[in-house]
Chain A
Amino acid sequence: MTAAIEVTDLSAGYGYGAVALSDVSFSATAGQAVAVLGPNGGGKTTLFRALLGELTATTGSIHVDGRPAYVPQTERSRLDFPVGALGVALMGAYPRTPWYRRIAGRDRALARAALERVGLGDRAGTRFGALSGGQRQRVLIARALVQDAGVLLLDEPFAGVDRTSEEAIMRILDELRAEGRVLLIATHDVEQARRWDRVLCLAGGQVAYGAPAETLTNAVLEGTYGEEIVMLDCGHRAVAIQHHSHSHAH
């Protein structure tokens, strides 16, 4: 699979003339993982919504190969909804299943295989809300696997995730890169951002885009986080510590 994404001079907002994101230009080719780094309200979600076609660009253009799969933060879904892990994974097959058809047997097998792949083959029947945060995140990734999209948008996939799940998610994301998919990974963790091929720094607008080693300089981090940042110099690497005065769960 080869997929690509190209964004040129993008501005987008939520109506009434409010622009939440402006002047974003970047491109990623097959097999690249892009960390989207920025503070809360910096425009990460707005960018994702624009890429999903939910927000129309006020200026600029977006080119995405196919419909992207979106992996939200797990607390954004309804934990009391009566659906099991397999049921959630099967939702990935909904877009290609007409309403009058049953889910194809092939898709059912695909959903089971996706759960196996994220290490949750034995939890297929467990209610989604009864799983741990990390397990829920893996189920949502399994759903994206069933969707089989070329571009995946992941919103803080490592937030509140235990060690086992973190390793499993890292492994899967590496596999997806190797398959030629494009990954966009929203994060506000600078260390996390260093792991990926490219970093896109957002603070209302684009602060920088490029390879992590060149991009994540003190100046760029200050431009991204403003006064919210505390710089610690550990072996010539800047570490951003954000004030957690407001919750990011909205």
Chain B
Amino acid sequence: MSEIVRSGLLQRALLEVVMLGATCGALGVWLLHVRSAYAAESLAHAMLPGLVVAALVGAPLLLGAAGGVLVAAVLIALAGRDTRVGAEVAVGVTVTTAFGLGAVLALAPDVPARLGELLFGDLLGTSTSDLVAAGALGCLVAFALAAGHRALAVAVFDPVAAPSLGVRPEQAQLALLALLAVAVVAAVQGLGNLLVLALIVAPAAAGIRLGASLRAQILLAAALGALAGVLGLVASAELDVAAGAAVALAAIALYVLAALLRPAAPRAAGGRRSPVEALGG
């Protein structure tokens, strides 16, 4: 433990993961309430080519991630215009294409062997500039969520009546996806393209289980996200396992604990839900 606190490497990693955990947790509550866990996963995976290209040319990963997310968003929007296939198929096709392209690029013989780092993150490699960037992006997301809290609540709770309350539900949904893109870009350096989803979905699902009010759910999810980060890093140092993976597993463990504490009430009415939605409790 004391070794963790003393090492500058771990101090930076700890600060980074606490910021990311809190931001992703809070944002995740909204994403689960609008049933957008699939979009979160897709966006995170689809930016792999951007990351690989950044690694190839030696540009900052943050830049690659931002470019990758942008291209993926445009492709998803274009594919979604084909009404014969529907949005989910459009997302699925875009994401697998992008992920496949990223893997091909990354596994080419003259590319530095960094695929593992891109997929699973490198928390312990957090530099001071990474920390500043993640902090700024995290603050941006937190501020936007606080400022848009009431508009988002109306848009999610009652999309039909929202326009009469001065809120455009489609705009609120788009804003959430934009914030998701920002959060994923901020988190990808530390947690990687595959594991970032754990910090977005698991603490949020636990917060939704445990919190009675929306505010409580968001605060709980932020706290649990930060806690998962700390627990994961400590476990990774003590047990000598990969840091990003340990953080993801800690987040899932916290969700399982919350689910045991508060089993989901039987659903009163309505249709079937996907397993991802069921996570939300």
Contact = CB atoms under 8 A, between A and B. Distances in A.
Q: Does A pair with B?
A: yes
Interface of A: 52-54, 67-72, 76-78, 81-84, 87-88, 91-92, 94-95, 97, 99-100, 127-128, 140, 147, 149, 153
B164 A77 contact: no
A147 B158 contact: no
Contact of B213 (A72, A82, A100, A147): A82
B157 A88 contact: yes
Contact of A91 (B154, B208, B213, B214): B154
B153 A91 contact: yes
A97 B157 contact: no
Contacts of A69: 164
Contacts of B154: 91, 94
A83 B153 contact: yes
9 contacts: A52-B164, A67-B166, A70-B163, A81-B214, A82-B212, A82-B216, A83-B153, A91-B165, A94-B167
Given A77-B160, A94-B167, 9 more contacts: A52-B163, A68-B164, A70-B160, A72-B158, A77-B157, A78-B156, A78-B158, A91-B150, A95-B165
B163 A54 contact: yes
A72 B157 contact: no
A81 B164 contact: no
A71 B161 contact: yes
B151 A72 contact: no
Nearest to A155: B160
Nearest to A74: B158
B214 A83 contact: yes
A140 B161 CA distance: 10
A100 B147 contact: yes
